[in-house]
Amino acid sequence: MKKIMIALFVFAVLVFLMLWFNFSDMQINKYPSLTEVKEDQAIQKGWVPSNIPDSAYNIAETHDIDTNNLVGKFNYKESDESKFMDSLKTTDKNATMTFGNFLFKVDTSKNIVHYRNKI
């Protein structure tokens, strides 16, 4: 009897996890350049920050409509680094920066930016 109860519990947990992941309102978008971001109106939707450099490429963002969590990243060309960095404010010693409703981590050695929304 004990083995049957354990098996039923494990089965119930697996069914719950399958349903949870299959019906999640998480969306992943990938854009080769800023042109595609603008075509999809991702900036207006709040998925991509409005201060993204013109040279941005390999843009990816993931957002969950249920929780309002948003994370993203992009690469940029060094020629846009100064203008982009000037748009950000430093918030702490860990080099976290902010612009509007977004938090940024910038790796200037690799020209890559990771961002997320403030919640």
Tell me: the pLDDT tens digits for 15-69?
776 766 666 688 899 999 999 999 999 999 999 999 999 999 999 999 988 788 9
Residue 32 in domain? yes
CB atoms under 10 Å from CB of 103, counted, come to 20
Parent domain of 75: 25-117
pTM of the predicted model as reported, rounded to 2 decimal places: 0.77
Q: What is the pLDDT of residues 99-116, one digit of tens each?
A: 999 999 999 999 999 999
Q: Quick check: is 108 in a domain?
A: yes
Q: Which residues of 50-84 are buried (b: 16+ CB within 10 A; e: fewer)?
A: ebbbebbeebebbbeeeeeebebbbebeeeebeeb
Q: Return the higher-pLDDT residue of 37 and 119.
A: 37
102 located within any domain: yes
Establish if 98 belongs to a structural domain.
yes
Q: Is residue 87 part of a domain?
A: yes
Residues 95 and 106 sit within 8 Å (Cβ to Cβ): yes
